[in-house]
Amino acid sequence: MNKIITIIITLFFITSIASADEIEEILKEYPRMNVGILVENLKTGKEIYSLNPKKLRVAASVTKAFTAYAALEYLGKDFQYSTKILENNKDLYFKFSGDPSFTKKNLINLISKLKTKSISRNIIIDDFAFDQEYLGPGWAWDDSKFCFSAPISAIIINENCFSSILKPNGKITSSKIHAKFNNNLIAKKDARCLPKLYARSDNSYDLNGCLNNIGPDIRLNIAYQNPRKMISSVIKDILKKQKIKFNGKIIFKEAPKQSKVLVQHKSAPLSQLLKKMMKESNNLYAESFLKTIDNNLHKTPGSFSQGTAMVKSLGDFKEARIVDGSGTSRYNAIAPDQLIELFTKAYKSKNWPYFYSSLAVSSIDGSLEKKFTDHKHLKGQIFAKTGNMSGVKNLVGYYKDKIFVIMINNYNCSTKEINKVEEEILSILLKK
């Protein structure tokens, strides 16, 4: 028996050394990359492989895994957002809760349930579930005009985003968008032409530069800059279309606690909403969950600072730097061993099934749908969270009885090449 155990241990170390040599050979081609790797046995916690596991690196969207775990722990799998229309003797109140899934159709349905032909009092918008800090610390200013950096307000309609099509002739086509374009584009036959979009705080947008007039249509996915101005326009538009006369003003303040609920819309449970955040890596959902954690626990307007403090308090994460819920900020810095701790905690939690089912699956769905298709033993077997931005390629997740993290920062090669590097390393580490 002792001989068998000795043989097994010897084979394990030989395999480990062989794996290390293979990985070293791959990384030798990229001497300037900052790489951190850690693989452990999920059930025993025994280390299988490590490379710089304690060094902090730009986290990108793997930060969302912290937010998902915290949302399940603090809010619970059955938590639902509620958007309400209330009244008291004087005014009508629209109370928004930061529901990231709330749409214009939902709002139209709420207003139609009022079954009125006239509103002669003021409409008060209560958006104080969250603070008025719309952008997270360290978010790139030039990203704020795009949907993936939409403002994080308690007012959310269609993810605070709209789409327009820019035609080769320089014209913009879109439906009712509650925004204004100042179009200064010059269309001409020049493949070097690039349009430039500038956003203003009043939801107006300048389009400058030139556009190749024989190029394809360009889809613009644009974030509203001012949720309050947007919702005022949307409500007035809905009232007009439903032929409801409105003679009052739209004002922003908190609804009195004694207000009567007339109608309300409830979101899907958190366990379902998490899947969109994690599988699709949706930034707005993540930040809404973060601020909701703060608002729900402290009964004060949810904020980035207090939300992240609550997230970090769930483990030994004091040395991690977490400043938002989505990983949009380059200020976020997390080490592989901290991610291993988080995913181990999730595995041992009562909420494990909901955390696990929210992860993207290799070659199946989400951000891993087109990944690991060339590695048969990995197809449909990796359940993980990706984290990508310029120069950053991270992945953390589960593979059978293993838990793994690979963090690559400061690479300077094509997306195709870095994807291949990541997949080759994981294919070696996650052998049968």
DSSP of 18-57: HHHHHHHHHHTT-TT-EEEEEEEETTT--EEEEESTT--E
What mean pLDDT is predicted for residues 229-254? 96
Please state the rounded mean pLDDT for residues 209-235: 94
Cα separation, 162 vs 180, in Å, equals: 12
How far apart CA 307 and CA 286 sit, in angstroms, is: 11
Q: In the predicted model, what is the mean pLDDT of residues 289-305?
A: 97
Confidence of residue 89 (pLDDT cuts 50, 70, 90): confident
Strands (DSSP E) found in 90-194: 92-95, 118-119, 123-126, 161-166, 172-173, 180-183, 186-188
Higher-pLDDT residue of 3, 132: 132
Q: Which residue's structure tokens are 């060339």?
A: 374
CA distance 235 to 176: 13
Residue 333 has pLDDT above 90, yes or no: yes
The SS3 of residue 350 is coil
pLDDT for the residue 350: 97
Higher pLDDT, 12 or 212: 212
Q: Is the pLDDT of residue 44 over 60?
A: yes
Which span out of 87-96, 189-198, 295-304 was modeled with the highest average pLDDT? 295-304
Residue 175 confidence class, pLDDT cut points 50, 70, 90: low
Question: In angstroms, how far is the first alpha carbon of the chain from the final one?
Answer: 24
Give CA 236 to chain center in angstroms: 30
d(CA 371, CA 415): 12
Say what the pLDDT of residue 374 is. 87
The domain 82-266 is placed in CATH, from the list 3.40.50.300, 3.50.80.20, 3.40.50.720, 2.30.30.790, at 3.50.80.20
**Highest-pLDDT range among 193-197, 210-214, 238-242:** 238-242
Sign of CA dihedral 215, 219, 225, 230: positive
Whether the per-residue pLDDT at 81 is higher than 50: the answer is yes
pLDDT class for 29, splitting at 50, 70, 90? Answer: very high
Distance CA 44, CA 401 (A): 9
Number of CB atoms found within 10 A of residue 234's CB: 19
Q: How far apart are CA 175 and CA 147, in angstroms?
A: 17
Band (pLDDT 50/70/90 cuts) for residue 1 is: low
Residue 334: strand, helix, or coil: strand
Q: What is the mean pLDDT of residues 383-407?
A: 97
**pLDDT higher than threshold 70 for residue 266:** yes
Q: Is domain 18-76+270-429 annotated with CATH 3.40.50.280?
A: no
Q: What is the pLDDT of residues 48-73, one digit of tens each?
A: 999 999 999 999 999 999 999 999 99
Reported confidence tier of residue 307, pLDDT bands at 50, 70, 90 = very high
pLDDT score recorded for residue 10: 43
- The yes-or-no verdict on residue 145 having pLDDT over 90 is yes
Question: What are the boundaries of each domain within the chain?
Answer: 18-76+270-429, 82-266
Confidence of residue 375 (pLDDT cuts 50, 70, 90): confident
